[in-house]
Structure 1
Amino acid sequence: MAPNLQPLLLFIACFGVFTSIVLAKTESQDVSALNDAYKSMNSPSKLNGWSSSGGDPCGDSWDGITCKGSSVTEIKVSGRGLSGSLGYQLANLKSLTYLDVSKNNLNGNLPYQLPENLVYLDTSENDFNSNVPYSVSLMNDLTYLNFGRNNLNGELSDMFQKLSKLETIDLSSNQLTGKLPQSFANLTGLKTLHLQENQFKGSINALRDLPQIDDVNVANNQFTGWIPNELKSISNLETGGNRWSSSRAPSPPPGTRRVDRNSGGVGVNNKALTTGLIVAVSTIGGLLFTAGVIALFARRKNSHHSSHFFDEEKGGGTNRSKPLFTPQPSQMLHFDSTDDLKGQKTVDSNTLTETKPSSVNRTSSVSFKNTPIFHLIPSYQVVATPDRFFKPEVKVFTLTELQNSASCFSPNRLIGQGTLGRVYKAKYEDGRKYAVKEIDSSLLGKGNQEEFSHIVSNISSIHHQNIAELVGYCSEQGRNMLVYDYFTSGSLNRFLHQTDGFSRPLTWNTRIRIALGTAQAIEYLHEVCSPPLVHKNIKSSNILLDSELTPHLSDYGLANFHHRTSRNLGVGYNAPECADPKAYTLKSDVYSFGVVMLELLTGRMPYDSDRPKAEQSLVLWVKPKLKDMDTLEEMVDPALCGLYAPESISAFADIVSICVMSEPGLRPPMSNVVESLKRLV
């Protein structure tokens, strides 16, 4: 018996060893992310067990790494004297909840994408010099965020809408600028906020209704206005070194919620207000009940018609758009019938938010389409003049100066013509050059002045290094124009299709960088802007290149206009579902971007009637060939002269193939596309 049992025992022993190895094996994507981070940190010897390739972080207990099963859950490498950067694959650590790389000598950009499931994030006391990564907005479980004592710069984007669990924010001792985002008001769990030693400006009113906050340091910035009374009672408040007003603070607008910290965060003003509310409720209780029944019935019957504003109020009041005017104390509660709603606009989450000011008795309200609504009506009239809606840095151009600088908009200054109007080159004597886009007046409708004002106001808030930002506007004599910087290298379309590609070639690496920069711009519109901003006209002629061939996406924020034109937005760029303009979504933008990538890969136009019928549609011709390396290399732009790595071409084609999927739901979000392209740079 014993000899017969030996093979069995040997098998069991080997199987046990094999099983232990398999169970200890770390997820491959986690290993790859840590390998990349290790190399990016210059392979420090102080991190025992770490490797630049392969290895088993969980099984071999790498220094500072904690695992659960085969997944990495914590990285704690504070104060190790680390240098270099963090690489670009940390987002692949899907189970990571704790990341602490503080008190090192790390530099460069913070990773654009960080793990979404983080609860604790600390990169403080390093030398990072980028902006706060947008991916923070996706960390719904985050409770601790510390980017303090670095060299971060730029403005904070409005990224805090969904971070209600966040308890601590430290952005101190950086070079951050701009105003505090209004989404700070959504940080209902926030207790500690340190913003000292930056260059923030504007007011801090976004902080006044945070019920749990008890430690605020905003010292040594450029804040103005008044310190909200709601903050003066907290235990730790530092506000010195700012430009606070010495005059008497104005009373808050009627109806403003104010936090009484002694009542558990219940929003009240004072005893008199409470009494007044009781009287008001008693007086109009019957009316409110009746209106509520009507509204509830209408909502159930027409729930798909509810406006964007209503959805956000229902979700906890995440919409805190800055009012276009400040109501005066003399106001009254007014009830409108459904007749008063005629002509009002509801908001498509895929378009810019629109609120139209009226020139007479302008109202501020939360509107429910097809139901009665309440308004707060000012006792005075508001005249809607365009200048009052724009940020100071947006320049107002006169029609005369634009005519003079663009040779009276003569044909020789025409540099483009699209679905919305013509684009002219304006050149000033001091050397300044601008691109002036005149919006076709027929697209604006009757309220052209007011609508154009709001379009400009919304576009002017878009800021990204790969977006052609608005310089100014002109609205005179029925003509409405948007003014942008003029990009010397023209459009990507011009480079690929209107010049001799062999004499002005774009190298393969340059093409990847153009794709990445454009993808990052679209990602910003889709995943940073709130609500998400659909572009609806992504094509190579709307990707402008500067002197260093850095891409800048143009024509954004104009999707409302595109709804009103039946002209094709770009033959060959439209996704299959776009036969119905109402079906256009963010995923339709992803498809159009996939077509742009095909242009970069093949050098061909999206649609070319001069080619054989089977090759006229670029997507239809290319799709079956993307997975075969032999046929793929046959399609590559001849202007590249074979100067590319085959594996890079193959990876690029893989990204294209999922972007141009026929079914919208199968296309990836732009953040995934950005992550994939970064690996190719």
Structure 2
Amino acid sequence: MTMCFRIRATLKSKEEKAFIRNGSILLQQLIAFCNGKCNPICGFSAKELKRATNNYDLRQLLHENGFYKFYKGFLRDQPVLIKKFKGNFQRSEVVFNEIVIASLMSIHKNVLKLLGCCLETKVPTLVFEFAERGNLDDQISSKNNNCHVQPLSWGCRLKIAMDIANVVTYLHNSFRRPIVHRNIHCLNIHLSEHCTAKLSDFSVCYAVSDDEMDMKDGMEGIMGLSTAEYMAKQDVCSFGIVLLILLTGQKEICNDHLENNKRIYLADYVKKYVHNNNFNDILDPMIFREEMLEEKERQVEAFKVLAMNCICESPGDRPTITDVAKELRRIYQMQRFKFSHNID
């Protein structure tokens, strides 16, 4: 009996120490970044999250990488996504960064909303709204072997591109200090039941300092860009890769069928086909499954040109994300009829 009490006391002590340490760091970051003003989030206990995931049952595991695991859980009778960092994860500062930026951005409809976090774990565990259709990486690949994941329609792909361009535009332009995302990938784009795209993972976001707004040092200066502009154009390039993935259904690193399936970066792979004027050979066949009307063909061509502009080798030649968002709206409006956002 005494031993059980001591074990419980030790566990409680560890949780309390973690809560105090993590809460203190989080409060400092909130004050430093946004003077403590952000959207309210809930605090969850470690016990609540264990119960929500059936003690982190592997059957609830949705995604895993080298740093964290995403579980489906249920809190207050609602499905949620729970992001639990692995025991050997050392960079707790990026988790606090994610909490701060995500809480600031959660008002935007194209952000995976942060509902709350647990500060009792060694590294805070995060709780997000649930995205019914998972992440874009699972959805878009034409080589996905999951028979339950059906291909996205062209209209849905266009909507996803517009959604993410809009939220990155907001990130770059809506705060006193522009914020760059620095991690725009299909794994960090989640889809709702009705194909609304939601950007996630703000862990490596960077708020540009006042000095960097006008600073022109090093390579950035040589290209005529301030440090802030250069970093923003890196986000544009990453977004351009997402556009290519939406067009081709390929991964960021894919197989070059012209060279015995040699592994190649998607950007280089596409440039080769564009240079040879046979880009349609690598267009996702799922797009061809739909009726290819003249308006749609013009949309696909304009979408391709925009993607290629976003991945220009020289950052100075890339458009701003604001211009990208405007062009995507123009492309969408080419249609004379409304594409269905549902899967065909």
- Whether TM-score is above 0.5 comes out as yes
- For residues 369-406 of structure 1, the C-alpha deviation after alignment (integer angstroms, 9 at most, x for no partner) is xxxxxxxxxxxxxxxxxxx9575731111110001111
> CA shift at 1:499, angstroms?
4.9
SS at match of 1:585: helix
Take 1:355 and 1:408, find their aligned partners in 2: how far apart are those partners?
A: 26
Change in CA separation of 1:679 and 1:455 when aligned onto 2, cut-off 3 Å = closer
Give yes or no for contact 2:111–2:200 (8 Å, CA) kept in 1: yes
Let me know the Cα RMSD of the aligned residues.
3.2
- 1:657-676 matched pairs, under 5 angstroms: 657-676=308-327
Give the match for residue 621 of structure 1: 269
How many angstroms apart in 1 are the aligned matches of 2:39 and 2:174?
Answer: 23
8 Å Cα contact 1:627-1:654 kept in structure 2: no
Sequence identity, in percent? 25
Distance 2:66 2:197 in 1: 21
The residue aligned with 2:52 is 405
Judged with a 3 Å threshold, the aligned counterparts in structure 2 of structure 1 residues 635 and 477 are, in CA distance, closer, same or farther, namely closer
Report the equivalent of 2:246: 600
Q: Does 1:421 align with 2:68?
A: yes
2:42 aligned with 1:395, yes or no? yes
User: Partner of 1:589 in structure 2?
Assistant: 235
State how far apart, in whole Å, the 1-side matches of 2:230 and 2:84 are. Answer: 25
Is the Cα–Cα contact under 8 Å of residues 424 and 437 in structure 1 kept in the other structure? yes
Q: Who is 2:137 aligned against?
A: 493
Matched, 1:650 2:301: yes
Q: Is the 8 A contact 1:587 1:667 kept in 2?
A: yes
Instruction: Work out whether residues 501 and 639 of structure 1, in 8 Å CA contact, stay in contact via their aligned partners in 2.
Output: no
Task: Report the CA distance shift for 1:530/1:421 in structure 2 as closer, same or farther (over 3 A).
Answer: farther
Q: State the alpha-carbon separation in 2 of the partners of residues 455 and 502 from structure 1.
A: 31
In structure 2, what is the equivalent of residue 288 of structure 1?
A: none
Largest Rg, 1 or 2: 1
- The alpha-carbon distance between structure 1 residues 531 and 631, as it changes in their structure 2 partners (threshold 3 A), is same
Instruction: Please state if 1:553 is matched with 2:196.
Output: no
**Are the aligned partners of 1:470 and 1:484 in contact in 2 as well (CA < 8 Å)?**
yes
3-state DSSP class of the match of 1:409?
coil
Provide the residue aligned with 1:531 in structure 2.
177
Counterpart residue number, 1:475: 119
Question: What is the DSSP-based 3-state SS (H/G/I as helix, E as strand, rest coil) of the residue aligned with 1:649?
Answer: helix
Q: Aligned residue pairs: how many?
A: 273
Q: How does 1:299-448 map to 2 (within 5 A)?
A: 357=28, 393-418=40-65, 420-428=67-75, 431-440=77-86, 442-444=89-91
Matched ranges for 1:257-336 at <5 A: none
Q: CA deviation at 1:457?
A: 3.4
In structure 2, C-alpha distance between the alignment counterparts of 1:542 and 1:638, rounded to whole Å: 24
Conserved 8 A contact 1:542-1:554? yes
**Structure 2 gap segments, 5+ residues each:** 1-24, 207-228, 333-344
Q: Is the 8 A contact 2:309 2:318 kept in 1?
A: yes
CA–CA distance in structure 2, aligned partners of residues 661 and 392 of structure 1: 37
Q: Is the 8 A contact 1:389 1:454 kept in 2?
A: no
Matches within 5 A, 1:67-146: none
Aligned-partner residue type, residue 57 of structure 2: S
Of the two structures, which has the highest relative contact order with CA contacts closer than 8 Å and spacing of 6 or more? 2
- 1:355–1:438: structure 2 CA closer, same or farther, 3 Å change rule? closer
Question: Please, what TM-score do these two structures have when normalized by structure 1?
Answer: 0.37
| Per-residue Cα deviation, 1:41-97 (whole angstroms, up to 9, x for no partner) | xxxxxxxxxxxxxxxxxxxxxxxxxxxxxxxxxxxxxxxxxxxxxxxxxxxxxxxxx
Counterpart amino acid of residue 621 in structure 1? Y
2:82 match: secondary structure: strand
Deviation of 1:559 after TM superposition, in Å, equals 3.5
Whole-angstrom CA distance in 1 between matches of 2:301 and 2:140? 21
Q: Distance in 2 between matches of 1:457 and 1:407?
A: 28
> 1:587, CA displacement in angstroms?
1.5
Taking the aligned partners of 1:457 and 1:598, their CA distance within structure 2 comes to: 31
Amino acid in structure 2 at the alignment position of 1:648: Q
In the alignment, structure 1 segments of 5+ residues that lack a partner are 1-353, 359-363, 366-387, 561-582
Is the contact made by 2:81 and 2:127 (CA closer than 8 Å) also made in structure 1? Answer: yes
Structure 1 residue 624: deviation in Å? 3.5
Cα 1:417–1:392 shift into 2, 3 Å? same
SS at match of 1:465: coil
Q: TM-score when scaled to structure 2?
A: 0.70
Q: Determine the C-alpha separation between the residues in 2 that align with 1:502 and 1:457.
A: 35
Q: Does 1:637 align with 2:284?
A: yes
